[in-house]
Structure 1
Amino acid sequence: MPRIVLAVLSALLLLTSQSTSADLVKKSKSGICHPPASSYYDRTKNYRQFDTVESCLASGGRLPKDLSRYRESVRSTGMALASVDSDYERSKFGYGWDDADGDCQNSRAEALVAQSSTDVRFADERRCRVVTGRWISPFTGKVIQNASDIDIDHVVPLKWAWDHGANTWSRDKREKFANDPGNLWSVERSLNRQKGAQGPESWLPPVGRCQYVSRFVRIVKVYGLKPSQGDFNRHKQQLADYCG
């Protein structure tokens, strides 16, 4: 099922922008995002709540199959329907980790070297693959010593970036973004996979939330990405809550 463009989602947000609990988007256990306009909204009792349709979709949710109500909402605002650019692929940000300087260490290895608090140990004398070191996870504060237990997290996930403006970038800019040391963090594999393509509007780490949200927002600004107004407001409130 094709998704509705951000213009459509913005129209829905306009129609349902009153700040009451009934206006929250409900994500059902089956992963369907129900805004108040959904015919199943009131019948959805067991759900995870989101402030915006975009943040619910970014968490892996999907819209209901019956889009007639959404079309009517959009028509009432004089806006047109279109298809969201949903053809995200990891390869559009490059094929895996890049070794731009040709020194045998790709951007994963370089992130591990730079972020270890002790000298790292390599797999062999070529010094290509990192085996051990000492990393303090920004998501938990725990010490990790085996590189195999680490995922290199994109602070701003690639798909989140794609959905918020990176789909219009050149391939070179997307590859730079995917390998930018400022966007790479050494974290527990389990938490990186739990986070997935979500931004802070729908996922937060157990600890270090000020550092995480601050870094996320800074990268978004540097690269000119465009969060929805709802997500922007949410990030702003999180900075006040966790960094104030």
Structure 2
Amino acid sequence: MLQTGCGSEQPNSEPTLTPVTVKKSSSGICHDETSASYERTKNFTAYDSISSCVDSGGRLPKGRVNNPVNEALEEGRDFVALYDRSDWPHWSDDDGDCQNTRHELLLTTSQAPVGFKTDNECNVLTGSWYDPYSGETVADSIALDLDHVVPLKWAHGHGGDKWSRERKKQFANDPDNLLLVQASLNRQKGAKGPDEWMPPRHSYRCEYLRHFNTVMDKYELTYIPSEKRIVDRMLHACKS
């Protein structure tokens, strides 16, 4: 029987709880107090920050991240300046022959004689190109995009923001990081890494992942922990 008279201490019937800042739901989504699902999330693991939740294998709710700066802050990375595509000069014509990077690759990779737009042979219009993303052959260059295997914006957010303009230009025009693919697939891919997008042709996915990683290693880019876990699982599956 509890005594409640003067001078006695009233026991606390409830345990003292550490305030929960971030909840990782059973489905692996990290909710902080700004999330619309925060109060509704009852089955969760508690973390003291978004970055520690993400590092544990969690992910952010859809629509939570809307620019490279917020993404860096949410995921505990160094602050990244806003991406500006004009800082990455691409499709250059360093040899001055009127054919830029795109048209030089169209010319050298065509599996058939090419047709030019005009007699000065600056712009390639027709030929025969194999798209490894789809496994299809394309005859009209207008239907092709020159894809950066490691996208410029993705590189910017994973270490490339600190490069000089000349280094960015080198990366943007490096043939090791360029593939001619169907425009629709390149635009579907956007600036996504391999944890978010893979080519629809399943038999090419392991080669694509190795290609992506080779370019990353060449330029010393790094995955964030949550991306690396996904990529490592895919690489393991490629070996089995």
How does the TM-score come out when normalised to structure 1?
0.70
Report 1:1-244 matches (<5 A): 22=26, 24-25=28-29, 35-37=30-32, 39-41=35-37, 61-63=63-65, 84-94=79-89, 96-207=90-201, 208-242=204-238, 244=240
Cα separation, 2, equivalents of 1:174 and 1:237: 30
Tell me how far 1:121 sits from its aligned partner: 1.6
AA paired with 1:22?
S
Percentage of matched positions with identical amino acids: 38
SS at match of 1:111: helix
Cα separation, 1, equivalents of 2:239 and 2:115: 35
Q: Deviations over 1:10-69 (max 9, x none)?
A: xxxxx88x9xx82534xxxxxxxxx2445434659xxxxxx9599978xx94439xxxxx
Tell me how far 1:150 sits from its aligned partner: 0.4
Cα separation, 1, equivalents of 2:115 and 2:100: 15
Q: Is the 8 A contact 2:28 2:58 kept in 1?
A: no
SS at match of 1:187: strand
Tell me how far 1:218 sits from its aligned partner: 0.5
Cα separation, 1, equivalents of 2:79 and 2:92: 29
Greater CA drift, 114-123 or 100-109: 114-123
Unaligned runs of 5+ in 1: 1-14, 26-34, 45-50, 65-70, 75-80
Q: Is the 8 A contact 1:24 1:52 kept in 2?
A: no
How does the TM-score come out when normalised to structure 2?
0.71
- Give the number of the structure with larger relative contact order, counting CA–CA contacts within 8 Å between residues 6 or more apart: 1
Note closer, same or farther for the CA distance 1:90–1:186 as it changes in structure 2 (3 Å cut).
same
In our comparison, the structure showing a higher alpha carbon Rg is: 2
Considering only aligned residues, what root-mean-square deviation do their CA atoms show, in Å? Answer: 3.3
Q: How many equivalent pairs are there?
A: 196
